[in-house]
Amino acid sequence: MRALKIAATGMMAQQMNVEVIANNISNVNTTAFKRNRAEFSDLMYQTENRQGAFSSDAGTIIPAGVQLGLGVKASAVSRIGAQGALIQTSNPLDVAIEGRGFFAVTLPDGDTAYSRAGNFQLSEEGQIVTNEGFQIDPGIFIPQEATDIIINEVGEVFAQLDGQTDPVSQGQITLVTFLNEVGLEALGDNLFRETAASGDPQLGIPGEEGFGTIRQRFVEGSNVNIVEEITNLITVQRAYEMNSKVIETADEMSRTVTNLR
């Protein structure tokens, strides 16, 4: 009886769907987190009677045929890149990207990763780094005697030094975009890595065409809609229950056949 295996694929698919939703809900307060969506496709079919085949010597053709599906499989977990809400803070090193783009981050092994989380800190040397201590690329240093940090919409970084009227330029924050952002590989810690699916990184200045702008003293919040996720969770739970009901029904049918005398 194929129904047992078909319903089992449905239960496994809905289990993965719950895991994706659980990850979204658990990251509802994660800076710049982008929610994920599980996507599914049907499995291959078994053809009992092929449509379009001749049904008689007179040349009549079977119009519909008989094809039986074998269930469902996970085809992708897509990342939804919609802009998260901008949350105002009092930290001058908090910067949010309004629009497209990623910050480039240099990992300890020298590779480059990308992130939209702009809740930066200062290292012991005065370098702007992520919460994990990874420096942004290009590197920017803030003098120890700086009394304030100014970052404008186009990513220029200035330090207000004690005893000087005009702020002093310390560097330029650049952004990186990808043709297919969904193709980036998630590494954790709000970091992503370039892949063959994402395309090559395109470097630019904030505010240029195709690039977002920088908002100082803001961070980008998660784009998870908790009401939508809970609604999806209820739908998935009901789908899981219906697939389990199919297994129960198939089991009862098998028991009936077994008890025939």
CA distance 236 to 220: 29
What whole-number distance in Å separates Cα of residue 48 and Cα of residue 45? 9
3-class DSSP state for residue 229? helix
Tell me: pLDDT of 57 over 80: no
Residue position matching structure tokens 């979204």: 24
Total count of domains within the chain: 2
Residue 35's pLDDT band, with cuts at 50, 70 and 90, is very high
Q: What is the average pLDDT across 207-228?
A: 96
pLDDT tens column, 121-170: 999 999 999 999 999 999 999 999 999 999 999 999 999 998 888 999 99
Joined together, the tokens standing for residue 108 give 């300890």
User: Does residue 136 sit in the same domain as residue 246?
Assistant: no
What's the CA gap between 24 and 26, in Å, rounded?
Answer: 6
Question: Average pLDDT of 193-213?
Answer: 95
Among 61-75, 117-131, 189-203, name the one with the lowest average pLDDT: 61-75
Percent of the chain exceeding pLDDT 70 equals 100
Considering the domain architecture, whether residues 122 and 236 belong to the same structural domain is answered as no
Beta strands in 17-65 (DSSP E): 36-42, 45-49
Which is higher by pLDDT, 258 or 106? Answer: 106
| More confident site: 258 or 216 | 216
> Residue 125 sits in which domain range?
86-220
Across the range 54-61, mean pLDDT stands at: 80
What is the per-residue pLDDT for 180? 95
Q: What is the pLDDT, as a whole number, of residue 164?
A: 86
pLDDT value for 85: 95
CB of 161 closer than 8 Å to CB of 168: yes
Do 58 and 117 sit in the same domain of this protein? no
pLDDT at 56 over 80: no
Q: From CA 193, how far away is CA 211, in angstroms rounded?
A: 19
| C-alpha neighbours within 13 Å on the C-beta side of residue 77 | 16
pLDDT for position 31: 95
Same domain for 96 and 205, yes or no, is: yes
Residues 123 and 205 in one domain: yes
Please check whether residues 141 and 52 belong to one and the same domain.
no
- Whether residues 180 and 242 fall in one domain: no
Residues 228 and 165 in one domain: no
Same domain, 183 and 232: no
Q: Domain check: are 102 and 195 in the same one?
A: yes
Read off the pLDDT band of 228 (50, 70, 90).
Answer: very high
Output the pTM of the full model.
0.86
> Do 171 and 206 have their domain in common?
yes
Residues 115, 213 share a domain: yes
* DSSP notation for 12-30: HHHHHHHHHHHHHHHTTTS
HSE, side-chain direction, 13 A CA sphere, residue 67? 13
Residue 184's nearest CA partner among 134, 116, 133 is 116
